[in-house]
Amino acid sequence: MQGEGLCEEGEGTLGSNPASQEEDGRGEEFPALCSSQDQAMMHDCYSKIVDKLSAANPTMVLQVQMLVGELRRVTLLWDELWLGVLQQQHMHVLRRIQQLEDEVKRVQNNNTLRKEEKVAIMCEKHSALMRPVVFALDHVRGITTTPAETPHETWFQQTYGDAITSALERLKSPHNPANPASSWVPFKQIMLSLQQRAQKRTSYLLRLDHISPRLAAMATTEMALPGEVSATDALTIQSVGNTITILPTKTKPKKLHFLGSDGRNYPYLFKGLEDLHLDERIMQFLSIVNTMFTKVNQQERPHFHARHYSVTPLGTRSGLIQWVDGATPLFGLYKRWQQREAVLQAQKAQDSFQQQPQPLPLVPRPSELYYSKIGPALKGVGLSLDVSRRDWPLSVMRDVLKELMASTPPNLLAKELWCSCTTSSEWWRVTQSYARSTAVMSMVGYIIGLGDRHLDNVLIDMTTGEVVHIDYNVCFEKGKSLRVPEKVPFRMTHNIETALGVTGVEGIFRLSCEQVIQMMRRGRETLLTLLEAFVYDPLVDWTAGGEVGFAGAVYGGGGQQAENKQSKREMERDITRSLFSSRVAEIKVGRGDRHTSSSICLKWHSVPYRSSPVCCEFANSDHLSFPLPDVL
């Protein structure tokens, strides 16, 4: 979900030394030159490796290239790409429309301008302020106007292709510049249409032969299953299941199945819009931590173990994640309780009023529950939800939290663990395993600064009691810099604490936490050596210059072409010049010889001014003759 600013950074001042400006320019070009040379060298090295592998096993290399290419294709389907980009740009456009409306009012109130001059100036301002939006949408349009290679791409072009083209033309050349909001209406209609389609249940299931026929036709390959290690022969991919499930989360990950050479189905989650190299390295970190637990596990029961899974990055913005079987998200337990409560309340209402059976009410989301409580609470102290969250009184938020905790049973997880066991001894073993696993993952998460621990990212295996954490994208205290900062070292809510048993956090949980910290301290040299990889090989998400939006995730991160790159600084410079030239065009003063030199200077030293049709028109009408010091 990234705003572009206008003139946020200085571009130099009048009268500055030209030599220093040229030197600054060389300073900006040098890192880019070094970066391109490094990329060329790395590309050459990778090409040589691929050539060697192709000479040894050409069939497998071709199959891997085809698999990776087709998986990258389904990372972000064209309708998902446009919906994400339009939602991302919508808030920026609303701010720019508000700014344009203010500009329109000022131009309309200028009685010294003729009607056609006002229209020309408003068009010029609209073009300047909407240039970043047009640039982003034009880039995405270039991606989705390439020849279609799948039935899904053909469907998208036939359904939305003409509408997108006409909407982009209207945004570039508005029919009514006095009403800036009208230029965004066509794209808003496209966004609403894509939203309605995405919210349908049927859109969560896709046919592989519709989005990637080549992948659906793949059979009996020599490729090994990602992350599957066999003591005998390597398991290979025989085919890919034809049903693709889209998970209804922000990044729209896709669940698919590989049929292995042993006849079993292996589920994987294919995820885009994120760099999975971080998850891959955290899995390495967890495996090393498990190695450190080997000695103590010879004496301790249940074992110390950090459960992990296979992560295979397939590019800078996509990868395959091994599906964790047998584990249930904690949010699933909470949602099932909500559904049971909704059914119970509906039955009570039906029995009390002798009514006909009514459809079940919709279960509210956690965010909806929170805002339904916080809204009236803020209103009680004279505030509204429009007030910045950092200005909300702490006492009000604390009272709302206590109210929400009181309305939720604290033993949901404890009851689920109890119901999953058949004997008291099994329940004791599962509870002890849960407490130890929670301690291990809490301490490991604390060491690596793990955040974003919402209930969908914490899973539990009911048969063993083991806790499984997924999605390590918010790591190394990154959560402290979020819009709503995360301040807790690990998640320990009342449901998680109740499931620890009668001793709560003071029993096996505390002892296990102390042991985990002690063992990790003894092996800190090994762990720090592994973590040094983040210093010398930073992740794509942390480096400057990479495109991290939706367009940058197309084909697994290969959607950005070199010829389409335009620096933010260059675009801001062009916008500033255009706005300045159109502002100059609004000013009308008397003629005079003393104004000639300044108007000529403005005419020939402002590149957008020379090329602007508005300024070229006004250059001959003496509207731009004014003393330069009066303007600056």
Mean of pLDDT values over 204-208: 86
Residue 491's alpha-carbon distances to 334, 337, 387, 446, 457, in angstroms, are 16, 21, 28, 10, 11
The sign one gets for the Cα dihedral 487, 489, 495, 498 is negative
- Express each pLDDT in 175-202 by its tens digit: 887 888 888 889 999 999 998 888 776 6
pLDDT at 627: 35
Select the more confidently predicted residue: 356 or 66. 66
Q: Is the pLDDT of residue 426 over 90?
A: yes
- Express each pLDDT in 113-137 by its tens digit: 777 777 887 888 888 888 888 888 8
Select the more confidently predicted residue: 113 or 569. 113
Distance separating alpha carbons of residues 211 and 206, to the nearest angstrom: 8
Select the more confidently predicted residue: 489 or 555. 489
Give the distance, in angstroms, between the CA of residue 417 and the centroid of all CA atoms in the same chain.
34
- Express each pLDDT in 530-568 by its tens digit: 888 776 665 655 443 444 566 555 654 444 444 445 555
pLDDT at 592: 40
**Cα Rg, the chain, nearest whole Å:** 30
- Express each pLDDT in 213-223 by its tens digit: 999 898 888 88
Mean of pLDDT values over 294-309: 87
- DSSP letter string, 354-419: TPPP-PPPPPPPHHHHHHHHHHHHHHHTT--TTS-GGGS-HHHHHHHHHHHHHTS-TTHHHHHHHH
Q: Is the pLDDT of residue 435 over 90?
A: yes
Instruction: Report the length, in residues, of the chain.
Output: 632
Residue 526: in which H helix or E strand, if any?
helix 524-531
User: Is the bond preceding residue 174 a cis peptide, omega within 30 degrees?
Assistant: no
| Whole-prediction pTM | 0.71
Distance separating alpha carbons of residues 354 and 362, to the nearest angstrom: 22
DSSP 523: T
Q: Is the pLDDT of residue 629 over 90?
A: no
Lowest mean pLDDT among 226-230, 271-275, 369-373, 523-527: 226-230
pLDDT at 578: 64
The set of residues, in sequence order, having a beta carbon less than 8 Å from that of 304 and lying 6+ positions away, is 290, 293, 296, 297, 436, 440, 512, 515, 516, 519
SS3 state of residue 175: coil
Determine whether 525 is exposed, middle or buried from the number of CB atoms within 10 Å of its CB (0-12, 13-18, 19+).
exposed
Please identify which residue in the block is written with the tokens 């049927």: 202
Q: Provide, rounded to the nearest whole percent, the portion of the chain with pLDDT above 70.
A: 76
The sign one gets for the Cα dihedral 111, 113, 114, 120 is negative
- Express each pLDDT in 25-58 by its tens digit: 444 444 444 556 777 888 888 888 888 888 988 8
The set of residues, in sequence order, having a beta carbon less than 8 Å from that of 10 and lying 6+ positions away, is none
Structural domain boundaries in the chain: 412-542
Q: Is the pLDDT of residue 467 over 90?
A: yes
Please identify which residue in the block is written with the tokens 């395993």: 433
The set of residues, in sequence order, having a beta carbon less than 8 Å from that of 175 and lying 6+ positions away, is 182, 183
The set of residues, in sequence order, having a beta carbon less than 8 Å from that of 486 and lying 6+ positions away, is 451, 452, 474, 479, 480
Please identify which residue in the block is written with the tokens 């510049």: 177
pLDDT at 38: 73
Residue (of 94, 95, 120) closest to 107 by Cα position: 120
Residue 269 phi, psi (nearest 5): -110, 120
pLDDT at 402: 92
Residue 512's alpha-carbon distances to 303, 432, 501, 556, in angstroms, are 10, 11, 14, 40
- Express each pLDDT in 364-390 by its tens digit: 888 888 888 999 999 888 888 878 888
Compute the mean pLDDT over every residue in the chain, rounded to the nearest whole number. Answer: 78
Residue 250 phi, psi (nearest 5): -60, -45
Select the more confidently predicted residue: 587 or 193. 193
Q: Which CATH superfamily is domain 412-542 in?
A: Phosphatidylinositol 3-/4-kinase, catalytic domain (1.10.1070.11)
Distance separating alpha carbons of residues 110 and 404, to the nearest angstrom: 56
- Express each pLDDT in 490-514 by its tens digit: 999 999 999 998 888 998 999 999 9
Max mean pLDDT range (98-107, 335-344, 414-423, 566-575): 414-423
Select the more confidently predicted residue: 575 or 346. 346
Determine whether 15 is exposed, middle or buried from the number of CB atoms within 10 Å of its CB (0-12, 13-18, 19+).
exposed
Distance separating alpha carbons of residues 258 and 312, to the nearest angstrom: 14
Extended beta strands in 149-299, E state: 205-207, 237-240, 243-246, 254-260, 265-272
Distance separating alpha carbons of residues 270 and 253, to the nearest angstrom: 6
Residue 441 in tokens: 């993952």
DSSP 239: E
Residue 322: in which H helix or E strand, if any?
strand 318-322
pLDDT at 621: 39
Cβ count near 362 (within 10 Å): 8
